[in-house]
Structures are given as structure tokens and as C-alpha cells.
Amino acid sequence: MIVMKFGGTSVGVPEHFAVAVRRVRDAGPLDPVVVVSALSGVTNLIVEFCRLPERRAELAERLVERHAEWMRATGVRPHEAHDLLDAWRDETAALSGRRDPLSAQDRDRLLSYGERLSAALFAAALCAAGADAVALLAGDSGLVTDERFGAAHPLPEAARLLSESLARRPPIPVVTGFLGRTADGRVTTLGRGGSDYSAALIGAALGATEIQIWTDTSGLLSADPRIVPEARPVPLLSFAEASELAYFGAKVLHPKTLLPAMERAIPVRVLNTGRPEDPGSLVTPAAGPADSAWRVKSIACKKGITAVTVASTRMLLA
């Protein structure tokens, strides 16, 4: 079994979306579980809706238009997506007249529309391509969390519940990334890197043979391409190396994404939906002996940091 996670540009760009659907359909013998982000730009729209009361009516309609334009471009128009857009209109209409800040709980509930719509669209496209697929809310599939809205953490029983729920087949599960729910059923979000984190949690719970992160770069790069145009993908890294890169500024993976995979020693492969023929980067428990061509595998940097070095002859007695 493999987990295939598709990010915002992978599902939000029609050409990339078509590649993603074909990849999942063709992976049928590998027993895939799909995890999706919201269409590119949608989460930011919802964040702005919550933050700017005076623009709520405009921003709510822009979300509808974004999905309507996408459905026209792809020809994928499931009734579930139309039902969700109707629910979005109803909920946001009730909020558009308010000028008070929204609670973190309200914000998470609104943010969930992005992933819910994306999952409905992806599952419908898989069915149209001849696969048997179903859209699922991660929370309803067992990803139960604490009540820290906006930055929720999975509860200890989440792994067991996910395993029990998602092991049932044949439909290919298309699961909402980024989302969970509290024990009493309220929607939560997992914070920055939440969709990748969802994929890792699901992969660990199911004992996947591999977790694939499909994004818009061909793996983890040797440097930031905005600074070093000649940056190239690093073919093989250890979990420790990838974690260090993520912590010090590499944008492809968030540090917490790797932890569930590390604990179960599940390889993580980073791939490019726009260039599916590229081998990408493979992150494994041990990267093997150093290749002479990769003595320094990658360089990452963070700005605005002051390093403080403390030295003392009494350090051992401190």
C-alpha cells in the first residue's frame, strides 16, 4: 500500500490534475490512498475572508468562481462539489454582515471547504477515469485531534482509528489533507504543513510501503533555486538530512511531516506533478554511503537569526 499526497498546484492546475489522476489510476495494483490539499490559492482566499470583514462578500464569491472556472477547464462537475459550494454560500452569507473577528473554531470550519471540495473533485475524476474512488473527511476516517484549533495535534488513538477505517476497500480513498476533528466532531486544522503531515500520519497508521509527496518541484533541491539557479534535485537523503533541511528553510517538506514516517521507517518520495518522469528525491532511514558527487548534498538558510555561542571553563560544572 502507498500513500499519494497531491499539493495545491498538483490539483489546482488542470494539466497537473490530469497527471495526478492518471498516476493514481495506474497505481491501482499498489493499493493507493490519496491525500489532497485545497486547489492552489483557495486556502489563502479563505484566510483573507476570515481576516478582512469588509471584503467577505467579494472573497466568498471568488472562491466559488475559482472552483467554477476549474470545473469548466477540466469537465469534472460532481454534484457533491456543487452541494459544497451551496453550503459555502449559505455559511459565508451569514458571516458577511459581521465585523467582529471569527473564532479559531469558525476559521477551521471555513478552511475545511478547500480540502473538502478538492477531495470531491479528485474522487469524481478518478471514477470518470474508470477507477472506484470515494472522497472522505480525514476526521471521519479516524484522524481525531485535540482542541487546539489552527494547530491541532492527533490524539494517541488516531493511528488505530485510521487503520481500522481506511483498511476497508475496494474504493480508493481520497482523503482531505490538513483536517482533523475533535472527539465531539468539530473540524480542526493541523497547521502549517498540515496536508503533508496528514499523509505521513495515514501512511504510518496503515504501514505503507512508501509515502509520495507530489508537488511542483522535482524533489528536495541542493539549494534555493531563487538564490542558486543551478540547484538540482538531491536523489537520496536520510531522514536526519531532510529534517535538517526542512528546519533550516527548505520549503518542500515541513519538519513535522517526517516524524510519523521516521518512527515507522517508511520511505518518503518527493515528486513533481509537472514533470512526472523525473525521479525526484527519496528520503529513507539511512541514505547509504556518501557519493563523491554529493559530499555536500544541500544548503539551506534562514534569515533574521542571531547566533549566540556560549563558552565557559566551568561548562562541565554548570
Q: What are 221-252's pLDDT values in tens digits?
A: 877 777 888 888 889 999 988 887 776 666 67
Question: What value does the mean pLDDT take over residues 120-142?
Answer: 97
Question: What value does the mean pLDDT take over residues 10-21?
Answer: 98
Whole-number average pLDDT of the chain: 91
Judge whether residue 297 has pLDDT over 80: no
Q: How many domains is the chain partitioned into structurally?
A: 1
Question: What value does the mean pLDDT take over residues 165-191?
Answer: 94
CB 192, CB 251: distance < 8 Å: no
Instruction: Return the higher-pLDDT residue of 226 and 165.
Output: 165
Q: Which residue has the cell 478552511?
A: 111
Judge whether residue 175 has pLDDT over 60: yes
The one-letter amino acid code at 56 reads: R
Give 106's contacts (C-beta < 8 A, 6+ positions apart): 50, 95
Nearest alpha-carbon partner for 79 in 137, 23, 40, 135:
135
CATH of the domain at 160: 3.40.1160.10
Domain with 144, as residue range(s), is 2-317
The percent of residues above 90 in pLDDT, for the chain, comes to 74
Instruction: Return the higher-pLDDT residue of 117 and 297.
Output: 117
The percent of residues above 70 in pLDDT, for the chain, comes to 92
According to the model, what pLDDT value does residue 258 have?
87
Q: Is the pTM of this model over 0.85?
A: yes
Give 63's contacts (C-beta < 8 A, 6+ positions apart): 42, 45, 46, 49, 88, 113
Grid cell of 22 as nine digits: 492518471
CB 297, CB 241: distance < 8 Å: yes
The DSSP bridge partners found for residue 212 are 4, 269
Question: What value does the mean pLDDT take over residues 150-176?
Answer: 94
Instruction: Return the higher-pLDDT residue of 286 and 85.
Output: 85
